[in-house]
Amino acid sequence: MTVVDRLDQLEAESIHIIREAVAAAEKPVLLFSGGKDSAVLLHLVAAAFAPGPLPMPLLHVDTGHNFPEVLAYRDDIACRFDARLLVASVEDALREGVITAVPGEVSRNRLQIPVLKAFLGRGEYDVVLGGARRDEDKARAKERVFSVRGSDQAWRPEQQRPELWDIYNATPPPDGSVRVFPLSNWTERDIWKYVPRRAIVLPPLYYAHERDIVVRDGALVPLSDVIQLGPGEKRIRGWVRFRTVGDVTCTAAVASAARTAEEVLAELAGATVSERAATRLDDRGVGGTAMEERKRAGYF
């Protein structure tokens, strides 16, 4: 008798969700950040429709402050999967005056929201798939698998549909869209167990490497063209990796010697907080409501 383990069950569930979403969509799109979750999701989408081509393009919201390694990975993966890559650029929106930066604000993570909303507001895409997981944040934990968004692309809990016994209503509303999270029930550890099982390639940032960092407010902040040393700060050369990969200006590293997925899993066995809580600088200092507020504003 064949034994179905947790990863088999999660994989089958995700593929079922993906097929339900695409069946209800007129024009689906996959949000692709170049991170580990979107890499796993892309693999699952490909598996769901193999041996056929991907049934949707990839969409990356580029802040202009992304890690160079992630951008190179994004372009390489798009070629490997023969995928059409769409880029919504924060840099272009700033240059064209479509959005305005807040003086003194280093991170551009917040600026992804109006750029994404403007892109989706054109009405070209009615179903948007993304790699969010419920264990990332308490605001994610109450998210539906099929998240209804209105014409303003905002998330409102009172508009969400019931999902009893894994029965989904995937039909997009006439004046809005649906954002779909096929990895909702996965955990960070599940992702790292699945990566070697399916030989999924990730950006090298996820594994231990040497990098110049600065310790700032207790966080290991990577130095770059947009993150410089402040008064009294010292440059440190250390072995680190990233648990999550976002805008370089809001993503901290963790000290690490893990060079393989198995070694990463061993490190995670001792982790007591989620990757966002541990390393996303833009989530700090806002009373634990950062994700909730961004979702209500239209964030993915």
Domain chopping of the chain, boundaries: 6-189+290-297, 203-283
Judge whether residue 270 has pLDDT over 90. Answer: no
Among 10-24, 49-63, 215-229, 268-282, the minimum mean pLDDT is found in 268-282
Residue 177 β-bridge partners: 149
CA pair distance 77, 85, nearest whole angstrom: 10
Confidence of residue 296 (pLDDT cuts 50, 70, 90): low
Q: Which residues, 6 or more positions from 99, have their beta carbon under 8 angstroms from its beta carbon? A: 90, 93, 111, 114, 115
Q: Give the separation between CA 211 and CA 49, rounded to whole angstroms.
A: 39
Within 10 angstroms of residue 62's Cβ, the number of other Cβ atoms is 21
- In this predicted model, which residue has the larger pLDDT, 22 or 247? 22
Q: Write the pLDDT tens digit of every residue in 217-230.
A: 889 999 998 888 98
Residues whose CB falls within 8 Å of the CB of residue 25, separated by 6 or more in sequence, listed in order = 126, 127, 170, 172
pLDDT of 174: 84
Indicate the pLDDT class of residue 1, thresholds 50, 70 and 90.
Answer: very low
Among 3, 33, 10, CA closest to 183: 10
CA dihedral 132→134→139→142, nearest 10 degrees, is 120
Grouping H, G, I as helix, E, B as strand and the rest as coil, residue 254 is strand
Sheet with strand 127-129: strands edge to edge: 85-89, 58-62, 28-31, 127-129, 177-180, 146-149
CATH number given to 6-189+290-297: 3.40.50.620
Q: Look-up: residue for tokens 């809580």?
A: 277
Taking residues 225-237, what's their average pLDDT?
A: 91
CB 154 within 8 A of CB 162: no
Average pLDDT, the chain: 88
Residue 113 Cα distances to 81, 125, 136, 294, angstroms: 27, 16, 19, 8
Q: What pLDDT does 153 receive?
A: 81
pLDDT tens for residues 140-154? 777 899 999 888 888
The alpha-helical segments, DSSP class H, found in 125-256 are 138-141, 188-197
Q: Which residue has the higher pLDDT, 291 or 178?
A: 178
HSE-up (13 A, CA, CB side) for residue 247: 22
Q: Residue 208 in contact with residue 258, Cβ under 8 Å?
A: yes
